[in-house]
Amino acid sequence: MTTPSLVPGRVAELLGPLPDDRPAYRALADGLRLLVADGRIATGTRLPSERDLTGALGVSRTTVTRAYAALRESGYVTARQGSGTVATLPTGRRGLGTGAVLYPAEVPDDVIDLTCAATRAPAGTAEAYERALAALPSYLAGAGYLTLGVPELREAIADRYTQRGAPTSADQILVTSGAVAGLASVTRALLGIGDRVLVESPGYPNSADALHRGGLRLAPVTVDPTGWDTPTVASAIAAANARAFLTIPDFHNPTGALMPDEQRAAVAHALKRAGTTPLVDETIAEIALDDRPAPRPFAAHHAGAISVGSSSKTHWGGLRTGWIRAPHKVIPALLDSRATLDLGAPVLEQLVLVELMRTTPGITATRRAELTASRDAAGTALRAALPDVRFVVPPGGLSLWLELPWTRADEVAAAAEDEGLLIAGGPRFAVGGGLGRWVRLPYVLSPETMTEAVRRLTTAVNRVREAETASGGGRQTTTRRRRGPLVA
């Protein structure tokens, strides 16, 4: 693997204007440290040479030399022979995002649980179960092992891809027990221990962890709150020599960013050149909230793409039904691998999904209106109560990705728990560490509950802020340990 690099102009853009309240070298070192700690400059990325950065920032060479020296000393960069200055994290702050699996927990009624970016079942789900039950008897005569999936569902999923702009036939679809299960089958079929996989950071922790536990080596690619920076992604792809790139181009979890068609084409081009297979997680693809033309599925830009999808967010997580869409030639290997994990998804749930897709292939208009109202209620409450917490209103998806004014996300999440609000801090979404300044706020509950959630969050943020001021800014402020596992 060569080392991915950032061009000087991009570093200048990420840094923004340097504050003039401290020596210039300190301001530069602080800015770069924050970007690395936050995961906005991925660990393992080469920073520009001193000379190039001097030119891009319009500062003196000594400023850059001293800033790099300070960063080396504090462990935020290392000087590597032949690789220049490379972003790292100090020992003890690495490894977040692997082993950070999120899963549901029981919570008392007065606690607002926003660890899970998923909604209750939409109206009409129970009726779909009834209709599916009526269709079930024709399957009862068989053994019920449909390892590729119920044929009508494979047809319906293929048709949906075709409608969305990626012509697909049913024999390219393998039904799974959800997207994570699909990804596990893909990983086992196509990747081997020690293979390198590029993974977005922030990204969905359970998938990153599945890859990590499968013995793969993960290399992070940064996703900004507004989306992907094409040269940065292309450089990471070219440098990593990775077997695969795991991406969530549609309403990315947790940022909500949507990769436009032109960018999909550019990323697909870089992947083809590098011989890296796109693994595309489309779990959230149908959660568009704004009226704008949807980009085509990533597979429309890259014939070799392997996509995993799911009914969990579009319809209901309890269906436990998802799929893999892959080129024909890959299906037999996927089938072999899947047959050693489980032998098929439950028939009844697949029939329910056929029913649901027949009436509404994407989310229902009601669900869309509800999510939009909840997103907007959360946004309005945040702007009023926490004006220095920044966020981009995403065009879809299920969460706001909040940037705190300081690196205290885990403390804020712990303080929020004391206030009866469960949320996940940024480090849970990081690959290779960082993201300590971010918090994910899923807008999956009613507007009133979201407003109350922001009220509790505000109390938590202010508590951490006050404790920080009282301690002079240096100390950890919350001693209470976060309780165990949180959710998807």
Ligand X SMILES: Cc1ncc(COP(=O)(O)O)c(C=O)c1O
Q: Point out which residues bind ligand X (CB under 6 A).
A: 117, 178-180, 204, 207, 248, 253, 281, 283-284, 310, 312, 317, 322, 488
Q: How far is the CB of 252 from ligand X (least distance, A)?
A: 8
Which one, 399 or 451, has the nearer CB to ligand X?
399
Q: How far apart are CA 255 and CA 439, in angstroms?
A: 10
Structure tokens at 481: 């340990």
The tokens 């990804």 sit on which residue?
183
Q: How far apart are CA 409 and CA 405, in angstroms?
A: 10
Which one, 180 or 377, has the nearer CB to ligand X?
180
Looking at residue 238, its amino acid is: A
Q: How far is the CB of 396 from ligand X (least distance, A)?
A: 13
Structure tokens at 313: 């967010």
Which one, 253 or 374, has the nearer CB to ligand X?
253
Q: How far is the CB of 292 from ligand X (least distance, A)?
A: 20
Q: How far is the CB of 50 from ligand X (least distance, A)?
A: 39
To 5 degrees, how large is the angle CA 448–CA 454–CA 456?
Answer: 105
The pair phi, psi for residue 425, each rounded to 5°, is: -80, 160
Q: How far apart are CA 72 and CA 51, in angstroms?
A: 17
Neighbours of 485 (CB within 10 A): 12
Which one, 250 or 403, has the nearer CB to ligand X?
250
Which one, 104 or 124, has the nearer CB to ligand X?
104
The pair phi, psi for residue 87, each rounded to 5°, is: -70, 135
Which one, 322 or 447, has the nearer CB to ligand X?
322
Q: How far is the CB of 463 from ligand X (least distance, A)?
A: 29
> What is the H or E stretch that residue 307 is in?
strand 306-310
Q: How far is the CB of 181 from ligand X (least distance, A)?
A: 6
Coil, strand or helix at 297:
coil
Q: How far is the CB of 62 from ligand X (least distance, A)?
A: 45
Q: How far apart are CA 64 and CA 373, in angstroms?
A: 47
The pair phi, psi for residue 392, each rounded to 5°, is: -105, 130
Structure tokens at 256: 């909500």
Which one, 25 or 443, has the nearer CB to ligand X?
443
Which one, 444 or 464, has the nearer CB to ligand X?
444
Q: How far is the CB of 30 from ligand X (least distance, A)?
A: 33
Which one, 85 or 207, has the nearer CB to ligand X?
207
The pair phi, psi for residue 263, each rounded to 5°, is: -70, -35
Q: How far is the CB of 207 from ligand X (least distance, A)?
A: 6
Using Cβ positions, the residue closest to ligand X within the complex turns out to be 178
The strand pair at 112-113 and 421-422 is best described as parallel
Coil, strand or helix at 182:
helix
* Bond prior to 202 in cis (omega within 30° of 0): yes
The distance between the two most distant Cα atoms of the chain, rounded to a whole number of Å, is 79
Selection from 302, 297, 301 nearest residue 323 by Cα? 297
